[in-house]
């Protein structure tokens, strides 16, 4: 008589050698913790448009927009060169008005989406 196979745990991918613990999928209702922040410096990693970005104390949405666009951004959220930006910013799915970009710090574990307006339909 052959042994009864163990029940399949859908949270683990299996290969020829059995479950791969490095590829664990969170169970329903579980979420992986956000990247750890260095509480002494405020440093850590946030996600900007899907890309990990190192953040630190003083890293604001203004800095994120400036970094992404390569343009200097004023504290009012406008381009220093006077040309329009055509940009909207959301942090963890909440749109942040440009007047608050310089006062809004980006913390480790947050997700920032910076989108540009496109003309046409």
Q: What is the pLDDT of residues 22-32, one digit of tens each?
A: 444 444 444 44
Is position 19 within any domain? no
Q: Which structural domain, as residue segments, surrounds residue 74?
A: 44-116
Q: What integer pLDDT is reported at residue 42 of this predicted model? A: 58
Q: What integer pLDDT is reported at residue 43 of this predicted model? A: 78
Is position 81 within any domain? yes
Distance between CA atoms of 42 and 36, rounded to whole angstroms? 10
Is residue 108 scored above 50 in pLDDT?
yes
Is position 64 within any domain? yes
Is position 95 within any domain? yes
User: Number of structural domains, the chain?
Assistant: 1
More confident residue, 52 or 17: 52
Backbone angles phi, psi at 61, to 5 degrees: -65, -35
Q: What integer pLDDT is reported at residue 25 of this predicted model? A: 47
| CATH classification at residue 85 | 3.10.20.30
Using 50, 70 and 90 to split pLDDT, how confident is the model at 16? low
More confident residue, 79 or 2: 79
Is position 8 within any domain? no
Is position 108 within any domain? yes
User: By CB neighbour count within 10 A (0-12 exposed, 13-18 middle, 19+ buried), where does 59 fall?
Assistant: buried
Q: Which long-range contacts (CB under 8 A, 24 or more apart) does 7-15 make?
A: none
Is position 87 within any domain? yes
Is position 18 within any domain? no
| pTM flag (> 0.75) | no
Q: What is the pLDDT of residues 62-84, one digit of tens each?
A: 999 998 899 999 999 999 999 99
């Amino acid at each position: 008589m052959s042994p009864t196979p163990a029940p399949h745990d859908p949270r683990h991918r299996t290969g020829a050698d059995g479950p791969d613990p490095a590829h664990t999928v969170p169970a329903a209702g579980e979420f992986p913790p956000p990247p750890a922040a260095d509480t002494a410096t405020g440093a850590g990693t946030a996600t900007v448009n899907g890309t990990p970005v190192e953040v630190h104390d003083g890293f604001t949405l203004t800095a994120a927009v400036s970094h992404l666009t390569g343009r200097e951004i004023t504290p009012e959220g406008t381009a220093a060169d006077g040309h329009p930006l055509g940009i909207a910013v959301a942090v963890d799915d909440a749109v942040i008005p440009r007047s608050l970009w310089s006062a809004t710090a980006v913390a480790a574990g947050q997700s920032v989406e910076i989108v540009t307006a496109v003309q046409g339909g």
